[in-house]
Every structure is written in C-alpha cells, then in structure tokens.
Amino acid sequence: MKPAHVTFRQLIARGELVRLAGAHSALGAVLAEQSGFDAIWSSSFEVSAARCLPDASVLTMTEYLEAASRMQKALSIPVVADCDTGYGNNLNVAHMVHEYEDAGITAACIEDKVYPKMNSFAEVQHSLLDTEAFARKLAVAKGAQRTDDFYLIARTEALISGLGVDEALERCNAYADAGADAVLVHSKARTEEQIVDFLDRWDGRCPVVVVPTTYPSWSAADAAKRGVSAVVYANQGLRATVKSLRETYQEIYRAGTSLAIEDEIASVSEIFALQNLDEWQALEN
C-alpha cells in the first residue's frame, strides 16, 4: 500500500528546491520517484507524443486527466498537471479544476497562450492572451477550487513569443495579483540569461518555476541560489526512451537475436518488482 502522498503545496512550503520529472505513464512516473524526484510533471508534450500526436491541443482534457490520474495512483509524490491553456475559456478552466481536484491531483499549470496552443518549441508564431484576460482566467480557476491544497501555477510564454523580460515580469505580477500560487517562466534561449534577468528583478511575491530544456547546463543548485523554487525536467525521460527503444529494436532486428543486448536491458524480475507482483500474489495465499 502506498503512503498518502504529500501535496505540491506542502513540498513548496518546505523552502527547498523541488525537482520534477516529466512523464506520461505510471511506469515512467514510478521510475522517476525511485530516482529521487520530488514530484512528477504530467507533460502534455509527452502524453501527446505517446499517442504519436502533436502537442497542439489535439487531445481532450479527459485524455490528459486520465494520464495524470493513472500516474498519481501509482505514486507517493504529487503530480503537477500540465494543462496547457486550461482547455478553452473560463468555463472550461473552472471545470478543469473540479475534475483534477476530484482525481486527487493537487497542482496544475496553465499557460497564457491563445487556445488552441502549439508546443513552445515549434517554429510557429505563438499568440498570447492579453494580460487582463489571462489574469481573469486564473482568478476563475482559483475561485473554482474546493480545497486549500490545490496549487495553481501560471505559466507565461512571453519569452517564447519574443516579448522580452519586461513583458514577462509585467504579466507575472498581474498573475500573482490574480491569485496564482506560483509563476512559471518559460524560455527557449540556449542559456539561462533571460531567466536570471527575470529572477534578479522579481520581488519574490510568489515562487518561480523554470524548465531548463534548452539551457540544460544550468544546474539545479545554481537555480536554487538564484531563487528558483521548482525546476522541471519536462521531456528528458521521453527522449531517452525513444533513443533507447530505437537502438534496442534495431540491434535485435539486425542480429536476429536479442543476446547482445540482454545485459543492457532490464530483467523480467525488475519488471515484476515495478508491478508489485509479490503483493498481488500474496492476495491469493
């Protein structure tokens, strides 16, 4: 039996850097927990990619919610749901909060793009809602929550859209005023310079979350020193899986046998352990 998981709010309240790993399945989420991660990022990019579909508001809220809830059931650490733009307008956002809370998800992140959104790293024009409209969406989300535990992260794509740090700061201040529990500042720059500039000018009125996908050399320790509260490794697990599976399948097909890679892949007994097979078998004895 899994112990009751802590909420994301409780993790942040500890005052130590919270590290999240992106996942799209219970198996990946459990492996991340076993590796020491504090929380899981239920990545819309990963969930979409697992269906071989683009991260472009193609899947429905129900499909994303199902993935997040399956992960949460297998974990003793919290899941933070990447909820894109909130799946529509303010009514959709209120419904989203109710559904995720009911599923035991204690934190969600919504971004200030126009619905339908496209993945931040796609080479397209990324249009944003005006600041006031997104602040209203956040206020609706906070008003809809039924428990004190639910934690709302407001993500700005101002840097992704090329609007600069001044715009990111203006938006994040408005989002904090609207009730957001934390802000996520997203960047596709190759260094952490933009994020550091933001942090140097941020007044600390609420926690800051970062996603160092395109600036991977920035260490968790350095981020914490700069005042970051949580860092999300949003898609590295998926990318590692794709590379490993491709190489494994290619080698088996090439050789006509799996002998050469048997020492490099997990044993069946390791899979049994992840399935908690002993516990399930004990139910019959």
pLDDT of residue 126: 80
Q: Could you give the CA distance from residue 203 to residue 186 in angstroms, rounded to a whole number? A: 18
Is 80 exceeded by the pLDDT of residue 87? yes
Same-domain pairing of 180 and 264? no
Same-domain pairing of 115 and 248? no
Q: What is the pLDDT of residues 219-269, one digit of tens each?
A: 999 999 999 999 999 999 999 999 999 999 999 999 999 999 999 999 999
Q: Which residue spans within the chain are E strands per DSSP?
A: 18-23, 39-42, 79-82, 107-111, 151-156, 182-185, 208-210, 230-233
The active-site residue out of 38, 55, 84, 181 is 55
pLDDT of residue 2: 54
Is 90 exceeded by the pLDDT of residue 19? yes
Of all residues in the chain, what percent carry a pLDDT higher than 70?
Answer: 99
Same-domain pairing of 46 and 184? yes
pLDDT of residue 123: 83
Residue 57, domain member (yes or no): yes
Which domain covers residue 226, as residue numbers? Answer: 8-234
Same-domain pairing of 149 and 260? no
- What lies within 8 Å, CB to CB, of 235 at 6+ separation is 22, 43, 45, 46, 213
Residue 225, domain member (yes or no): yes
CB 166 within 8 A of CB 122: no
Residue 3, domain member (yes or no): no
Residue 239, domain member (yes or no): no
Same-domain pairing of 152 and 254? no
Same-domain pairing of 31 and 86? yes
Q: What is the pLDDT of residues 20-46, one digit of tens each?
A: 999 999 999 999 999 999 999 999 999
CATH code, 141: 3.20.20.60
- What lies within 8 Å, CB to CB, of 82 at 6+ separation is 41, 42, 43, 44, 45, 64, 108, 109, 234
CB 47 within 8 A of CB 59: yes
Is 60 exceeded by the pLDDT of residue 206? yes
- Model confidence at 125, pLDDT cuts 50, 70, 90, reads confident
| Number of domains comprising the chain | 2
CB 84 within 8 A of CB 44: yes
Same-domain pairing of 228 and 249? no
- Is 55 annotated in the active site? yes
pTM: 0.96
